[in-house]
A and B are shown apart, each in its own frame.
Chain A
Amino acid sequence: MDGDEDAFRALYRRHTPRLWPLLGRMLGGAGFRADAEDAVQETWIRAVQALPSFRWEAAFSTWLTGIALNCARETLRKRKRGAELSTDGVLERLDGGRRPDPERRMDLEEAIAALPDGYRTVLVLHDIEGFTHLEISERLEIAVGTSKSQLHHARRAVRSHLEPGGRDEPDAIRRD
């Protein structure tokens, strides 16, 4: 690419449509569009900076996704500062201002967006992006068992959101 604008734009247009839904969902959906935009930009800045050391025999999209995940995680960490969030699945709560109305039926995207960060991240990577638990554990630097546990709770929480008043409320979501 060698700093060429047209070459970059071609690369951007080829890969960003794939990054955008991933980052959007990881960062909480439509309500956090600005964060997702920042993450896309930061992903490309880091990618271009690191491009000289990238070995093109590897899959560029995989490499880029790794950078994007790191950007998303950093954004979530910054957002969590001062908030009482846990990533081990024991005690998590919804972000302020995004608490769902229990009487209203949510669609799937909304239900995913309303999940606590830890649950949402694992569910998006496993159930939408197709990562294995081993891959998730490596990417997020968590135990495989933690990934499985997060996914279990995430699925319960999504079901609860989709069917208010139906099955059990998710045990990990505190409606305080």
Chain B
Amino acid sequence: MNPEDIRYHKEHTWVKVSGRKGTIGITDYAQDALGDIVYVDLPEVDTTVEANSEITEIESTKATSSVISPVSGRIIEINEELSESPEIINEDPYVKGWIAVIEMENHSEIDDLMDASEYEKYVEEESK
């Protein structure tokens, strides 16, 4: 089940908002579609990222895929653990498998994102 307290982007990423901070990661659907993740090209702290653009790339045994940021802002923290153990994303995409924390520029971007039930419907449509 996809958690209720986070927002979802159509490129299968999520953001959990807490004040101005947004923690982002990829969804369970995305990790399942990618298969075993072997490498996360972690972004650098202090770089800025635009919503709907690539924040990093993930390599799985099947593919190399862009991770699209759901929000704009400055990266203030990255999940260093992923550099040693990228498979954490497969095991726990919504909690331990977070990728980065972004200091958000524009809170209203959240409104463009989907909630859990909308995302579930979206995934159902997409996989038809």
Q: A and B: partners?
A: no
B-side interface residues toward A, CB under 8 Å?
none
